[in-house]
Structure 1
Amino acid sequence: MKLWRRGWWLLVLLAIVVLGWRYVGRDDRQASSPVQREADVAALQDPALIARGEYLATVGDCAACHTARDGQRYAGGRSLGTPFGDVPAPNITPDPETGIGQWSFDDFWNALHQGKGRQGELLYPVFSYTSFTKVSRDDALTIFAYLKSLPPVQRPDTALGLEFPYNVRSSLVAWRALYFKPGEYRPDPAKSEQWNRGAYLVQGLGHCNECHTTRDALGGIEQGRHLTGGQIPQLDWYAPDLSTQPGGGLDGWRTQDIVDLLKTGQSTRGSAFGPMADVVRKSTQYMTGADLQAVASYLQSLPPRVQPAPAPFTPAAGREHGGKLYAQRCADCHGQDGNGVAGVYPPLNGNTSVTEPTGINAIRSVLLGGFAPATAGNPKPYSMPPFAQQLNDEDVAAVVSYIRQSWSNRASAATPENVGRFRNTPVD
């Protein structure tokens, strides 16, 4: 039976590939008019437009993927891990040989909006065109102007790290049919200007859905689960649900809590750790107050979620052991009541990063420590030391279970097996 299934899938794949070659061979890009092209070229030299593009590229956190560790900004070289292999982020400086020096704005717009490269090739969705398609043409032009203004850096792309059949670009035809619908963001006339601005940033340039929503076995974002939280592939962190309504991951968060976290990395309800700390450090701290307020306005409009059933408590012996470890290792900073110290140590009581469904975030924080981002608004944040060397898997499971089931928290217990799984997971 397994051989039959494998053969059936190979036949389907062959059909996809054959049809895909025909599909990829078509160049169905919509070329702009000569007048529009001239206007675009002139706009690329406008200092105000370039400055606006720098801001929007920062909001989109483009440098995070397109800059290698200790590499030159936007020069590529970073391999982005996926469940199917590594995909290198390209050089997007204006180098004519290895970057986008020969790209027109139409080429750039087509990449953002259609998910296609300069030669019409299908781009791998590790480049978040499923979200970037919502970016307006005017905003895309400003980003392109900014990238074209950068010093060119010669750095060839690294090799694609995907194996067959994932390295066959034409097989993306089927994936796109299932998960990708191109289209710019269209404002909702029934909503305020602020709400629409927030929706545009969250759904489009901010591409929040790419981490804060679960993905299925094919790597596609599950329909109908917008911003309901999800485990980030290959990074082993859980990006929480972003609803502030009952049952949501940010249940009870005020506008100021959201703004503070995005601006400084810390709020009265929690701190940014893991991948989100990098997002704050490299991107959201530079957003204007108006844009941060807009994002908060949109997130507060997300609907309530179904309340999960309370998890069964850890057996008394394990809970007693976890409580002793908490008193010895954690209470001095986070308090016996789990409420932390406002503006210094984040609360654990009611903290969505503690109570998220998997327990990954709490386990990794205990093992590897917690390091909030240094920002202009919080230049010297307090950090949490790692305990991987002091606590064994049973100890970590006990203290994490205690934290996840104390005070108002009613999340599932951690297991030593899960702790062992994440003990040696790399930070990045």
Structure 2
Amino acid sequence: MRRLFYVLAVLASLALLAAAAVVALNLRGEEPLPDVAAAPVTPTAAQIERGRYLALAGNCAGCHTTRGGAAYGGGVGIETPFGTVFSSNLTPDPKAGIGGWSAAHFWRAMHNGRSKDGRLLYPAFPYPNFTRVTREDSDALFAYLQSIPPAATPNLAHKLRFPYDTQAALAVWRALSFTPGSFAPEPARPAEWNRGAYLVEGLGHCIACHGSRNVLGATEEKLGLSGGLIPVENWYAPSLTSRREAGVGDWDPHDIVALLKTGTSPRGSVMGPMADVVFRSTQYLDDADLRAMAVYLKALPDAGPAAAAAAAAPAAAPARRDARVMERGAKVYDQRCAYCHGDLGQGAQGAYPALAGNRAVLMDSTANLIQVVRHGGFLPSTAGNPRPYGMPPFNQVLDDDDVAAVLTFVRASWGNDAPAVSAREMMRR
């Protein structure tokens, strides 16, 4: 009996120590909130305008505005592997929104991931990235949000599975996966590069899509912008550190700016979730900031020794493919694809992309190809490209075997030599 009591006492002590550690880790980096009444602040017109621009840079409306709903009224369902998180109302409504918040409350949410009442926020609100935003920019964002029309749109309860719906589980996640921080410029880098890094790593939160995630859903910061499957959406955000995927190390900065400004450039175009980012966010950024982002993205290191070794390796013999699948794919291509993309996959400049030598076609991940063929897609409509050409959906006229066959054909024709698309890949998408 004494031995059992001793074991239980040790376990209880360890549990208390672990709980204390979790609490301490969740409080790190937090400062006491100042007395709101003691420090009234009247924002200037310039500060509000700055906040409006920053809200565009962070694509805040993308998650906080429902289609047809009040601007920044919240209610957008963000699907995660753990359930659905609903975005909150950011308007100055005193009950449903943040009308009763102070700039310090807002800063704590951005920097520490904690709501006004002290609740821990779910990282679907990307505070692991926003923690790098400066206090000055946070205050400008808050000033802008306080200036927009209030909306009494009620906040919706999250629909998460147990135990992910508990503050205790979220506290453990934060203890393991989140540390408040700040953006630290690199002295050896030029100001333009540092500005680009601040936008990409902070408000732009590019790693939220272009980074891989661990089993707990946290982004793998050490791997950087190495690409990853966007949870639930089944779109693959390609690696920005690999020229075989979406790396731009060999691009002219002008082409990178064009892609972010208009959604298209001589070197590529955007569809899927990135089209929404360009439509709602980057097309509105000034050229200096887009140039800074281009400089930063262009300077990202390539995928590393593995990529260099692969490039230096002798060319392998073309992969062998099932003749019946290739015949079926060629027939589908001739009937459904050749009119736009050309008999030889050459495309039409300014309208339809070439498929021959297209790295989006040749990527190891076939997720985006399957999505586009099944569901179609358009480039974003922007000031620089107001009437973009698009891809119609074929899910009503092509079955899974047809889609797999035509993609296998495209990935193996006109000099392309990428693996076949399997039935298993079709089932996963």
Shorter-chain TM-score range: 0.7 to 0.9
Matched, 1:187 2:173: no
Taking the TM superposition and a 5 Å limit, the aligned residue runs for 1:108-127 are 108-127=106-125
Asked if the contact 1:243–1:300 (Cα under 8 Å) also holds between the matched residues in 2, the reply is no
Listed as ranges, the gaps of 5+ residues in structure 1 are: 1-10, 423-428
Asked if the contact 1:245–1:303 (Cα under 8 Å) also holds between the matched residues in 2, the reply is no
Asked if the contact 1:240–1:352 (Cα under 8 Å) also holds between the matched residues in 2, the reply is no
Shift of 1:376: 0.9
Select the residue among 346, 349, 361 that pairs with 2:368: 361
Over 3 Å counting, the alpha-carbon distance change for 1:203 and 1:37 in structure 2 is farther
Which residue of 1 is the match for residue 73 of structure 2?
Answer: 75
* % identical equivalent positions: 48
Asked if the contact 1:24–1:170 (Cα under 8 Å) also holds between the matched residues in 2, the reply is no
Which residue of 2 is the match for residue 142 of structure 1?
Answer: 140
Name the stretch that deviates more: 329-338 or 64-73: 329-338
Shift of 1:220: 1.2
Which residue of 2 is the match for residue 325 of structure 1?
Answer: 332
Which residue of 2 is the match for residue 6 of structure 1?
Answer: none
Over 3 Å counting, the alpha-carbon distance change for 1:104 and 1:298 in structure 2 is same
Which residue of 1 is the match for residue 3 of structure 2?
Answer: none
Shift of 1:248: 5.7
Which residue of 1 is the match for residue 286 of structure 2?
Answer: 288
Which residue of 1 is the match for residue 253 of structure 2?
Answer: 255
Shift of 1:37: 6.9
- The residue identity in structure 1 corresponding to 2:223 is R
Per-residue Cα deviation, 1:263-298 (whole angstroms, up to 9, x for no partner): 111122222111111111111110111111111111
- The residue identity in structure 2 corresponding to 1:334 is H
Over 3 Å counting, the alpha-carbon distance change for 1:410 and 1:110 in structure 2 is farther
Alpha-carbon distance in structure 2 between the residues aligned to 1:87 and 1:128 = 12
Asked if the contact 2:36–2:102 (Cα under 8 Å) also holds between the matched residues in 1, the reply is no
Which residue of 1 is the match for residue 30 of structure 2?
Answer: 29
TM-score, with length taken from structure 2: 0.87
Which residue of 1 is the match for residue 45 of structure 2?
Answer: 47
Alpha-carbon distance in structure 1 between the residues aligned to 2:67 and 2:413 = 39
Shift of 1:244: 6.1
- The residue identity in structure 2 corresponding to 1:328 is Q
Shift of 1:178: 2.5
- The residue identity in structure 2 corresponding to 1:186 is A
- Give the secondary-structure state (helix, strand or coil) at the position aligned to 2:84: strand
- Give the secondary-structure state (helix, strand or coil) at the position aligned to 1:80: strand
Asked if the contact 1:113–1:133 (Cα under 8 Å) also holds between the matched residues in 2, the reply is yes
Asked if the contact 1:80–1:126 (Cα under 8 Å) also holds between the matched residues in 2, the reply is yes
Alpha-carbon distance in structure 2 between the residues aligned to 1:232 and 1:296 = 23
Select the residue among 365, 380, 387 that pairs with 1:380: 387
Which residue of 1 is the match for residue 422 of structure 2?
Answer: 415
Select the residue among 213, 216, 220 that pairs with 1:215: 213
- The residue identity in structure 2 corresponding to 1:59 is A
Alpha-carbon distance in structure 2 between the residues aligned to 1:37 and 1:340 = 64
Shift of 1:53: 0.6
Alpha-carbon distance in structure 1 between the residues aligned to 2:135 and 2:356 = 44
Listed as ranges, the gaps of 5+ residues in structure 2 are: 1-11
Per-residue Cα deviation, 1:76-103 (whole angstroms, up to 9, x for no partner): 1111110000111000000000100011
Name the stretch that deviates more: 153-162 or 346-355: 346-355
Matched, 1:107 2:105: yes
Name the stretch that deviates more: 221-230 or 325-334: 325-334
Shift of 1:176: 1.8
Alpha-carbon distance in structure 2 between the residues aligned to 1:208 and 1:37 = 37
Which residue of 2 is the match for residue 203 of structure 1?
Answer: 201
Over 3 Å counting, the alpha-carbon distance change for 1:23 and 1:402 in structure 2 is same
- The residue identity in structure 1 corresponding to 2:110 is L
Alpha-carbon distance in structure 2 between the residues aligned to 1:222 and 1:16 = 27
- The residue identity in structure 1 corresponding to 2:336 is R
TM-score, with length taken from structure 1: 0.88
Name the stretch that deviates more: 349-358 or 55-64: 349-358
